[in-house]
A and B are shown apart, each in its own frame.
Chain A
């Protein structure tokens, strides 16, 4: 019973902070609310026995990606009145489109997964341990070894691409 209440409160906080990301006018506040959202999502992971992902989510998203965003925002040094405005009809259209999308999602996915469908031969111990480093690491280095290695190629190309793009040279768009 109490875990149910915790789950609902966490869900409400997640949605609230996510809404603040798109509603706050100052970009800096948006970024900080996004960090809060990531912490809430990590709390949801902990509730779902995914402890490793909860930590990695905080380290990678809140720690690395959002710091990158903060750095870029501070480097660009935008003032509040430089913030581009969106017209009211555009906002209304976007909200209507988003609402329709939500209705479609919920209607399409509502009936999926009615009862617990743990695969046969999986014991309760395994289910409780799937989120731990030992189990995930074993899976990662056996079943998903090839994608894991390709990941490093992706990172390499991302680094090279970022350095190439951000290098100060004569690059005129006009």
Chain B
């Protein structure tokens, strides 16, 4: 039996860099897109980048706790997407737009 197959040929730094890049793509997406749906999707992308890193270190260290954390993160992501999208539908119903700039109204 091989010990954690993938990490005999690929270093964990590779997955570190990969998930950092995915996370940064999510951050840039939140900053440059104004469609609120896409912003929510970029948040999902950031959560997935963290999941990828957790799984890779879980395999690397031979412990299952990281994978269970991923499980809980998925649960939280599902709840967050549900509530976020229903707020979005509510805002669209009132303003007929999903422009994130309209959230400025919350200031006053």
A: residues with CB less than 8 A from B are: 1, 3-4, 7-8, 11, 14-15, 18-19, 21-22, 27, 30-31, 34, 37-38, 41, 44-45, 47-50, 52-53, 56-57, 60-61, 64-65, 68-69, 72-73, 75-76, 78, 82-86, 90-91, 93-95, 97-99, 101-102, 105-106, 109-110, 112-113, 116-119, 122, 124-128, 130-131, 135-136, 139-140, 143-144, 147, 151, 154-155, 157-159, 161-162, 165-166, 171-174
B: residues with CB less than 8 A from A are: 1-7, 9-10, 12-18, 20-29, 31-35, 37-38, 40-42, 44-45, 48, 51-52, 55-65, 67-68, 70-72, 74-83, 85-95, 97-101, 105
Are A14 and B18 closer than 8 Å at their CB atoms? yes
Q: Give the distance in Å from the alpha carbon of A166 to the alpha carbon of B89 in the complex.
A: 7
Cβ of B17 to closest chain A Cβ, rounded Å: 6
Q: Give the distance in Å from the alpha carbon of A53 to the alpha carbon of B105 in the complex.
A: 40
Are A65 and B25 closer than 8 Å at their CB atoms? no
Q: Give the distance in Å from the alpha carbon of A156 to the alpha carbon of B4 in the complex.
A: 38
Given the contacts A72-B37, A162-B86, A136 and B67 also touching, CB distance less than 8 Å? yes
Interface of A, secondary structure class, is helix
Given the contacts A78-B98, A83-B35, A11 and B76 also touching, CB distance less than 8 Å? no
Total number of residue pairs linking A and B with CB closer than 8 Å: 260
Which one, A19, A61, A172, contacts B74 given CB within 8 A? A61
Are B95 and A21 closer than 8 Å at their CB atoms? no
State the 3 A-B residue pairs at the shortest beta-carbon distance, nearest first. Answer: A94-B31, A22-B29, A158-B79
Are B83 and A22 closer than 8 Å at their CB atoms? no
Which one, B34, B86, B98, contacts A166 given CB within 8 A? B86
Are A48 and B6 closer than 8 Å at their CB atoms? yes
Are B63 and A130 closer than 8 Å at their CB atoms? yes
Are A56 and B71 closer than 8 Å at their CB atoms? yes
Cβ of B37 to closest chain A Cβ, rounded Å: 6
Q: Give the distance in Å from the alpha carbon of A45 to the alpha carbon of B105 in the complex.
A: 42
Q: Which residue of B lies closest to A158 (CB)?
A: B79
Q: A83-B35, A113-B60, A161-B86 are in contact. List 18 more A-B contacts (CB 8 A).
A: A1-B9, A3-B10, A4-B9, A8-B14, A14-B22, A34-B45, A61-B44, A68-B82, A73-B37, A76-B98, A84-B99, A105-B20, A119-B62, A124-B1, A136-B64, A136-B68, A151-B72, A154-B76
